[in-house]
Every structure is written in C-alpha cells, then in structure tokens.
Structure 1
Amino acid sequence: MANIANNKLECLMLFLLTFSYVLSDRFVDGRRIGTTKLVKPKGTIKTIEGKDGDIIDCVDLYQQPAFDHPLLKNHTIQMEPSSIPSDLKVNFSPVKLIQGWHKSGQCPEATIPIVRSPKNQHLRALRHFKRSRTQLKQSLDSNDGDILSNHEYAVVSFGGENFLGSHATINVWKPIVEGNGEMSIGQIWVLAGPEEEINTLEAGWRSDGYQKTGCENLDCPGFVQTNKNFAIGSPLDVSVYNSKQVDIGVTIYKSNESWWLKVNDQVIGYWPQSIYKYLANSATRLDYGGEIYNAKVGGVHTKTQMGSGHFPSEGYGKASYFRHVQYMDSTGGFKDVEVGKLTVDAMKPSCYNIAVQSDRSPGSGTNFYFGGPGYSKDKCP
C-alpha cells in the first residue's frame, strides 16, 4: 500500500504538496470500474491474469513510471540499500507477502509487477491529499465548505528531531467505505518542510470501496520499485473481528541517498532524495494513524469506518492497532518512540478516536489503538 508525497507539481506527476503511493488492505485496490478501459503500461514484457480479477503487467525495470519524473531521466537504479537498520522490531504475527496473482505466474527477472488500472482517474478527494492537519483544521473551523475539511484524522505525532527512518507494525483491516470517492487509510507519514510546502512519504493500507481515487502507487513517477514479487495495489489478507488478526511491518528509512520502503522483510523500492526539497536530508516529524475522506453526502457525516470500524476502547481483536512504533536517528539504529513524546490528535473523537497504551503490552513496544464507526445520530451526526 506505498503512499508517497513530493514537491509542487500537477497531477499526473505530483499534486500540490503531495502525491501518494498507498499500500492498502488491497494494497490500494486496482479493480475494474464499470466499462472503464484498462491501460497496459509501456515496457510490458509479460501479462498475468490473477484468479481474483487483477491483471498484472510485468514491466521492464528500466521503463517503469518512476523514470517519467523529470529529475530521474538519467537515474541509475539501486537494487538494494547499502545498509540495513539495526534494532528493527519485526511484527509479531508475520504475514508472508504472497499475493493471489502468484498462483497464475511470476514476473521475470529485471521486471516489476504493476496492477493494470484505469488511466487518469483523479477524483477531487485525493487532489488535496495530503495537506498538513493544521491546514485541515483551519478549513474545518472556518466551515467554508472547502474540500480540505473533508479529511479527518486520528493520529499520533513525534517531532523535534532529525529523523532518518520510521517503522510500525500496522493491523490490516477492510473497513466499510461509502461511495463518492471516499477512502479509509491506516499508515505512517514521514514529513519535512513548512506547512505550505510540506514533503511527505506515506505507506500503509487503504480501503476505497473498489474505486480508483487519484494519483497513487506507481501512477505517479518518483518511486523506483526494485522488487519483482510484490505488486503495489494487489490484495493481501485482512483481520477478522474478534478472530484472526493480520498485521504488516512497514518501514521507511534513509540509505545511500534514498528513502527505502520495506514491508515485513521485503525491500519494495525507494524514493530518490533528489526529487525532494525538504526531505533531501532528513525528516522533522513522524505521524502514525488513520485518515478518512468524508464526502458529507446529504449534509451528514459519512458511515465510512476508520481502522476496524471500532473505537480504541474495545481493545485487541476488535479495534485496529499500531505496534512497535519506532524511529531511526543519526546513529542508524531504530528506537522505540517514548510514549510521553507522542502528541495525540483526533479531529473528531466522537467519530474516530485514538488511545496510546501507556502500559506497553508485552512484546508490542510503543503501541496504540485507533479508529471508529463514523456516523451515529447522537455522537457523530
């Protein structure tokens, strides 16, 4: 699911403050939309039709969309990071990165798998994704109807240092998402820069009701994928209420002048630091948690769920969680974020909330629960 952001350009390239690659409960769903024509990407060497309906194109490594970025025309691909961070906590219930399309074939060497999806499906919901939450709150408080006020968050933030990496074990769910381009996200953010020009790298999972919303995954140039086995946008397993729990370890960290993305123990690819203004050297803030887009159909709050759709107070097996919340500093090792240094920010706690666990459950490190059901007549009208 990688959700990334960059400097000011226009969609299709980047958008305003950010463009996004999201790993989702379907690691960003790339399903069909009615009769919309699906576009085969350039450089396709082999096509695999998965049994779950996904069409996977195996694209020449050197013709992937990353190299449509004007700053990467002469880029030399790095196949792996030069260093591996120390002290990185692994998720305690690991999930192999096996996707359904693997049953129908494998991509050859020197290619990457890309989920075939409709071209130019850029809805307004994601065109403003992601502004800073300060700007979103200002829009919300002004009640001016600006689309920025339709984004709602329940997150924790950690700032005040120069960060070279971020990690969390994220509980994966498939929340109910209403139509009209709405979405529900659980992810980490790596940020730097002033509010009006903020750069972000974002990775996690997203559910969007099988709709393709905006410029994301490999649709936007800049992220260089090196892994031939993992298709960003193809489904993974999800958790079940009060039963099977599934989580993934998501890591973004700096190595040899690039920001690398790992999911569990798999290196997926990297964002070259050259495409960023404020993230070229380090990040200044790390965020963890959930986000939804609320279309406010009929003037009422959406029923789109965040996390599992249950409040943090319901605990393990019911509420969605983040565990092993960690950061990497200049020493090159990952450290647990101290609970007392996390700033909690729930924009509408009666709709979606967040609760940091001060008791640090055994084996889970710094952790929190987040989420909620959205609309209710009495508490979230």
Structure 2
Amino acid sequence: MTENNQSSMAHVWVENGPLESTNKITAGWHVFPHLYGDSKTHFYATWTKDNYKKTGCYNVQCPGFVQIDRKNHLGSYFPTTSIYGGPIQEVLISITQDPKTKNWWIAAGNTNIGYYPAALFSNLGSADTAGWGGRTQANLGRASPPMGSGHFPDGNSIHSGYFRSPSVQDNSREEFTPNPIITKSFTDNSDCYTIDYYEPKVGFAGAVEFGGPGGANCGD
C-alpha cells in the first residue's frame, strides 16, 4: 500500500433489499492507512441499512456494533500474514444470525466478538444474498492497490487470496456449501482483478480465490 487514501480488503457479507435501501453487514480484513495510520492488516466489519447513503461505518466509528469479547475487537490487527508461496495464515470469519433475537453476530476464529442488533436494520430479518470476495479503493484518477496477494487466482491457494470451505446456513439452520448453479462471480475489471469459485468435490470442500495486481487503469 503506497498511499494513505488507498485500501484493500477481503470480506464475507450478507445483505437483503433493493439497491437503494440495501441492508448489509460485512466482516473480514483490510489494509487502510487513512483509517488506522499504518499499513498493517486489520480485522474489520461494517453495516448499513440504506446502501451506505446515510447509515453505516467501519468498526465502531458510529453507534451500532455491540462489543462482547474483552480481548478481541474490531480494528485489531493480525500480527502475521500470509506470504506468496507460503507459509499461509488463516482465520475463520463468520456472520451468523441468532434465531431468537435476530441479532447478527460477528466471529473470528471460534470467538464471538460482538453483534449488530436486529433493530439497526429495516429488511435484514434474513439475508437473500451471501458473498465472499475482495475490494479496493483509491482516489479518482489514482492507481488502484493490489488485492489479496497481488496475484491472480490460478487454482493454487498459496498464490492468491482465498476463502476455503465457504458455507451458508438456511432457514432451518442447516449448513451447506453453495451450489455452483446458484452462485455467480463478478469483477469490474478483469485486467486488474479476478475471482474464481472452485466447486466442492470428494476430499475438497470448495474455495473462492480472488485477487490481482491492481494498477493505473482499473476504473473508478
């Protein structure tokens, strides 16, 4: 990351609602010098109930997130990160809805960090979309930073950013791996970043690989 106004992130998310009033929660990691004053990799989450028009923020910059764990918190940084070709560092990140309260819990590893109260949202009683991927941002006309490892996916998880064993829960609380028939991938500039979904097979629970080098012509 070469400029304070750049950021690069990887996250899971859940959402519901039309574009102009999307309710959404994301959780993952990002590098964001302007927010933290450093180039470390930080654990983060965001929320919105109107597609970030007037509501929502990173971490606890605005009211909403209820911190529960006393040791781990949004905004903390990971002391070690993966290296291209290995060794690889992994963290389990999840967004889970409590079936009784309808609050949305954010967890890292096996630890519940805290939750977003159901009352924050207008149409996130359940999610109609769940996703995994990466995102970058930079000032208009400036180069876009690398995403993931800075390399395109090639089917080898030690070369690119990835989500191993992606899964979702249905209304009955049963967990399953997304069927390729009901999934879709998206990138707004395949010259800068790509994403691939490798479907489950015997002995392999599936993976989403993503990333790329960024550059000067990645769009707005």
Question: What TM-score do you get using the length of structure 1 for normalisation?
Answer: 0.49
2:153 counterpart of 1:283: no
2:138 counterpart of 1:294: yes
Structure 1 residues 115-159: Cα deviation after superposition (integer angstroms, max 9, x where no partner): xxxxxxxxxxxxxxxxxxxxxxxxxxxxxxxxxxxxxxxxxxxxx
2:64 to 222, 225, 229: 222
Cα displacement (A) at 1:233:
1.4
Structure 2: gaps of 5 or more residues: 37-55
CA distance in 1, matches of 2:187, 2:2: 21
1:323 to 159, 164, 169: 164
Structure of greater relative contact order (alpha carbons < 8 Å, 6+ residues apart):
1
Q: Which runs of 4+ in 1 moved over 2 A?
A: 299-302, 358-363
Cα displacement (A) at 1:312:
0.5
2:13 counterpart of 1:189: yes
Question: Residue 92 of structure 2 aligns to which amino acid in structure 1?
Answer: G
Cα displacement (A) at 1:240:
1.0
- SS of 2:154's partner is helix
CA distance in 1, matches of 2:148, 2:194: 10
- SS of 2:92's partner is strand
Change (3 A) 1:282 1:314: closer
- SS of 2:8's partner is strand
CA distance in 1, matches of 2:200, 2:169: 23
The residue number in structure 2 matching 1:91 is: none
Question: Residue 287 of structure 1 aligns to which amino acid in structure 2?
Answer: G
Question: Residue 3 of structure 2 aligns to which amino acid in structure 1?
Answer: G
Structure 1 residues 205-263: Cα deviation after superposition (integer angstroms, max 9, x where no partner): 0011x321794211211111110010321221211111210111111111132111111
Cα displacement (A) at 1:362:
3.2
Whether contact under 8 Å (1:187, 1:290) holds in the other structure is yes
Q: Which has the larger radius of gyration?
A: 1
Question: What TM-score do you get using the length of structure 2 for normalisation?
Answer: 0.82
Whether contact under 8 Å (1:180, 1:295) holds in the other structure is no
Change (3 A) 1:276 1:247: same
Instruction: Within 5 Å, give how 1:155-304 maps onto structure 2.
Output: 177-208=1-32, 210-212=33-35, 215-236=57-78, 237-255=80-98, 256-257=100-101, 258-279=103-124, 281-296=125-140, 299=141, 301-302=143-144, 304=145
Cα displacement (A) at 1:366:
2.5
2:151 counterpart of 1:306: no
The residue number in structure 2 matching 1:372 is: 212
Question: Residue 111 of structure 2 aligns to which amino acid in structure 1?
Answer: Q
Q: Which has the higher helix share?
A: 1
Cα displacement (A) at 1:310:
0.4
Change (3 A) 1:227 1:313: same
Identity %: 29
CA distance in 2, matches of 1:359, 1:337: 9
Whether contact under 8 Å (1:312, 1:353) holds in the other structure is yes
CA distance in 2, matches of 1:359, 1:373: 27
Cα displacement (A) at 1:275:
1.2
Structure 1 residues 177-227: Cα deviation after superposition (integer angstroms, max 9, x where no partner): 23151100100111011110111011000011x321794211211111110
CA distance in 1, matches of 2:218, 2:30: 22
Question: Residue 265 of structure 1 aligns to which amino acid in structure 2?
Answer: N
Aligned length: 197
Query: What root-mean-square deviation, in Å, do the aligned CA atoms of Structure 1 and Structure 2 show?
Result: 2.1
Cα displacement (A) at 1:300:
5.5
Cα displacement (A) at 1:359:
5.8
Change (3 A) 1:191 1:215: closer
Cα displacement (A) at 1:336:
1.0
Cα displacement (A) at 1:314:
6.3
Whether contact under 8 Å (2:194, 2:212) holds in the other structure is yes
Cα displacement (A) at 1:360:
4.3
Question: Residue 105 of structure 2 aligns to which amino acid in structure 1?
Answer: W
Cα displacement (A) at 1:334:
1.4
Whether contact under 8 Å (2:15, 2:22) holds in the other structure is yes
Question: Residue 169 of structure 2 aligns to which amino acid in structure 1?
Answer: M
